[in-house]
Structure 1
Amino acid sequence: MDDLKYGTRNKRGDWAPSEPVQYAPLFLFPTRIVAILKWLPDYFFPWNTIFAASAVAYWAWVIPPIETMQALGIGWIAWLYAVNAISVLFFYGAFELHLYVLKRQENRFKYNGKFPAEQKSKAFWFESQNIDNVLRTFLSGVTIWTAIEVAMLWAYANGHAPWLSFAENPWTLAIVALIVPIIHEFHFFCIHRLIHTPFLYKWVHSVHHNSVNPSPWSSLSMHPVEHLLYFGTAFYHLILPSSPILMLYQLHYAGFGAIPGHVGFDKVEVGEDKLVDSHAYAHYLHHKYFEVNYGDALIPLDRWFGTWHDGSQEGEARMQERYRKRKEKLAARKARVEMGGAAE
């Protein structure tokens, strides 16, 4: 498939889409009903449908009986960890195998023309991005994911979280299901800005940003503190009128949903003529430039806070202008400090 029909490739082999990243029309004003209706299929398919279906499957075949979860026990906790780990291994591993091991679409639609395995760095354990990312995913990521899952299921089983039945509250639960991605986006933006503060970035978030050229296993390669903040999105369901299935959907949206943003390819080829959009470019630009696109493109939070980069020349100019103003402020502050010291 010819990826140059959809974008351009520079001399380094890096690919970029021809069209700038667009925000979802959901929060554009004045409201554009036709645009929203055209966008809705992309909201549901394929990713949100996959994550919601996985939550239903977990509830049907994985989650223990309510009576079992009323007391914390090593047996059912270990069972949930094992299922989460196996699910991550197969889901993440499928993308890794297809795109990075077998390289079935070579570097077509790949933002960074190089592959992580080709580069060694002391920033990673064993100087390998892949080994480092895999170990952090399973040692910390899946562990904290499971711990929060266990805590929430225990809370539901013991009546500490609002649990609505679908039979009695179908519309309320439908609305909560619809806004699960919005909750995730809001939460992710807030904690992302928090961990980009100097202290937390140095000691926590820099672990994730070591993967400047992200791949599937980079998705959950984080410091344990960031894992706790990231999967903390499930705690909204302690106060929302919700259900365990929707809480699982929220967790799966975070856990499995990290893949599209870090897959490293704009489109995944399925067969000879089918393409699935990853919608990863906005987050790829965050890994590339660090201080843009703290959210994705569902809610225009970055636009509202002046940190949006859509991949266009205008977006690049806005970013450079923001950097220039910040340097001027830092230079002015330094000059005032030096003048104060000289006066003494």
Structure 2
Amino acid sequence: MDYSLLYWLIVIPMIFVSFILRYLILSFGALGLTFLMSRNRKIQSSREFTKPQILRELRHSFIGVIPIAFIVSVVYILGIYELNKLYFDISEFGWVWFFGQMFLLMFITDLWFYAVHRLIHTKFLYKIIHKRHHLSTDPSPFAANSIHPFESILDFIFILLASFIFPLHPIALFIVVNISALWSTIGHLGYEIFPRAFTGSIFGKYLNFATVHNQHHKLFLYNFGYYTTIWDRIFGTLHTETDDLIKEKSSANY
């Protein structure tokens, strides 16, 4: 294929537009879901999403997704010119690694996010970077990407680093990035969507549900995880009321 200037002038904007569209689809879809749910599943039941809040989250999110799209674009461009370990033929490393790299990326995401999240809650970085995200003390689905651009870089730079360390297939990367976006949207839903049969299971006990992350927005100093609560449990940053609140909200009628 001829990777001419015209090719990049088409592909790169498409990547950026796809990130914006994905954000809007997930956010509006999640908001629609909240209209169908019982008030008993609203995590902060005394609060309502307000129009100024949603408009602020939208505005900040449009800015927040730009660095993420840029990092993914850089990984792809470097891969095209064989400057990192991006590969395009699944048979080169087989299907086991194709799926294995996705689980590895999700594991790294979970640990990396926890570490970065603790870092940006230090006094100086919180004030200049992370405070923007915490303007939403009861986040709506639109808050998932409502972050400072530099926070976006800190959160996702590991993808660029990983592309130099182990083989990455662009489709696997695409799937993981979208799973990450979906989980972040669920985490900022403001409602607990999962049933008690799942949240109370051995597997569910260690997942970072909307209830867990909503408590982080309310209490600030607890519940820093992304996909799981494993690191919060290990390092003692899981709020003591979290498990009981999950039980209460996930047991409520839909």
TM-score normalized with structure 1 length: 0.61
- DSSP-derived class of the 2:152 partner: helix
Shift of the 166–299 alpha-carbon distance from structure 1 to 2, 3 Å rule, reads farther
Deviations 1:114-136 (A, max 9, x none): 21217xxxxxxxxx111000011
CA gap of 1:148–1:163, structure 2 versus 1, over 3 A, is closer
1:302 offset after TM fit, Å? 1.7
| Aligned ranges 1:126-141 → 2 under 5 Å | 128-138=52-62, 140-141=63-64
Instruction: Tell me which residue corresponds to 2:69.
Output: 146
Correspondence for 1:185 among 100, 110, 129: 110
Q: Quick one: distance in 2 between partners of 1:310 and 1:109? A: 20
Q: Whose helix proportion is higher, 1 or 2?
A: 2
Which residue of the partner structure matches residue 219 of structure 1?
144
CA 1:176–1:70: 2 relative to 1, 3 Å: farther
Q: What residue identity is the alignment partner of 2:102?
A: A
Matched, 1:158 2:75: no
1:254 to 137, 157, 180: 180
- Give 1:212 shift: 0.6
Given that residues 99 and 172 in structure 2 are in contact (C-alpha distance below 8 angstroms), is that contact kept between their aligned partners in structure 1?
no
Count of matched residue pairs: 232
1:227 deviates by: 1.3
**2:129 counterpart SS class:** helix
**C-alpha offsets along residues 76-112 of structure 1, whole Å, 9 cap, x if unaligned?**
222222222222212211112332xxx2225231101
Cross-structure match for 1:59: none
- The structure showing larger relative contact order (alpha-carbon pairs under 8 Å, at least 6 residues apart) is 2
* Alignment partner, residue 308 of structure 1: 238
What runs of 5+ residues in structure 2 fail to find an aligned partner?
246-254
- Aligned pair in 2 of structure 1 residues 307, 72: CA closer, same or farther (>3 Å)? farther
From the two aligned structures, give the one with the greater strand fraction: 1
Structure-2 change in CA distance of 1:312 and 1:117 (3 Å): closer
| RMSD, aligned CA | 2.8
2:212 partner letter: A
Structure 1 equivalent of residue 170 of structure 2: 244
**TM-score normalised according to structure 2 size:** 0.80
Q: Pick the structure with greater CA Rg.
A: 1
- The answer to whether residue 120 in structure 2 is matched with residue 195 in structure 1 is yes
